[in-house]
Amino acid sequence: MNTKVWKVDKYVDNLGNNPQIVDAADFLRENEVVALPTETVYGLGGNAESDEAVAKIFAAKGRPGDNPLIIHIAEKEQLKRFVAEIPNKASILMEAFWPGPLTIIFKKKEGVLSEKATAGLATVAVRMPDHPVALALLKKCRLPIAAPSANSSGKPSPTNAAHVLDDLQGKIAGVLDGGATGVGVESTVVDCTEPIPVILRPGGVTKEQLEEVVGEVLVDPALMDGESKPKAPGMKYRHYAPNAPLFLVAGSRDFLQKLVAEKKKEGLRVGVLTTEENADQYDADVVMACGKRAELETVAASLYDTLRAFNQKNADIIFSEMFPNSGVGHAIMNRLEKAAGNKVISE
Domain boundaries, given as residue ranges, for the chain: 4-224, 246-346
Can you say how many angstroms the Cα of residue 237 is from the centroid of all Cα atoms in its chain? 13
Angle at 149 between CA 126 and CA 240, to 5 degrees: 125
SS (H, E, C) the chain: CCCEEEECCCCCCCHHHCHHHHHHHHHHHCCCCEEECCCCCCEEEEECCCHHHHHHHHHHHCCCCCCCCEEECCCHHHHHHHECCCCHHHHHHHHHHCCCCEEEEEEECCCCCCCCCCCCCCEEEEECCCCHHHHHHHHHHCCCEECCECCCCCCCCCCCHHHHHHHHCCCCCEEEECCCCCCCCCCEEEECCCCCCEEEECCCCCHHHHHHHHCCCEECHHHHCCCCCCCCCCCCCCCCCCCCCEEEEECCHHHHHHHHHHHHHCCCCEEEEECCCCHHHCCCCEEEECCECCEHHHHHHHHHHHHHHHHHCCCCEEEECCCCCCCHHHHHHHHHHHHCCCCEEEC
Q: What is the pLDDT of residue 233?
A: 56
Residue 238 is predicted with a pLDDT of: 54
Q: What confidence score (pLDDT) does residue 239 get?
A: 67
What pLDDT does 240 receive? 78
pLDDT number for residue 222:
73
The one-letter amino acid code at 94 reads M
Q: What's the CA angle centered on 22, arms 19 and 27, to 5 degrees?
A: 125
Q: How far is CA 226 from the centre of its chain?
A: 18
Look at residues 286, 328, 284 and name the one whose alpha carbon lies nearest to residue 307. 286
Q: What radius of gyration, in Å, describes the C-alpha atoms of the chain?
A: 20
Could you give the CA distance from residue 101 to residue 338 in angstroms, rounded to a whole number?
Answer: 20
Which CATH number is 246-346's, of 3.65.10.10, 3.10.20.340, 1.10.10.10, 3.40.50.11030?
3.40.50.11030
pLDDT of residue 153: 87
pLDDT in tens, the chain (347 residues): 899 999 999 988 889 899 999 999 999 999 999 999 999 999 999 999 999 999 999 999 988 777 899 999 999 999 999 999 999 999 999 999 999 999 999 999 999 999 999 999 999 999 999 999 999 999 999 999 999 999 998 889 999 999 999 999 999 999 999 999 988 899 999 999 999 999 999 999 999 999 999 999 999 887 645 444 455 554 555 567 899 999 999 999 999 999 999 999 999 999 999 999 999 999 999 999 999 999 999 999 999 999 999 999 999 999 999 999 989 999 999 999 989 999 999 99
Name the residue among 129, 122, 128 with its Cα closest to residue 106. Answer: 122
Amino acid at 185: V
> What is the b/e burial string over 263-292, where b = at least 16 CB atoms within 10 angstroms of the residue's CB?
bbeeeebbbbbbbeeeeeebebbbbbbbbe
Cis omega (within 30 of 0) on the bond before 221? no
pLDDT of residue 64: 77
Name the residue type at position 109.
K
158 within 8 A of 168, measured Cβ to Cβ: no
pTM for the full predicted model: 0.91
The strands making up 317-320's β-sheet, listed across from edge to edge, are 286-289, 270-274, 317-320, 246-250, 344-346
Amino acid identity, position 15: L
The Cβ-side half-sphere exposure at 138, using a 13 Å CA radius, reads 29
CATH of domain 4-224: 3.90.870.10
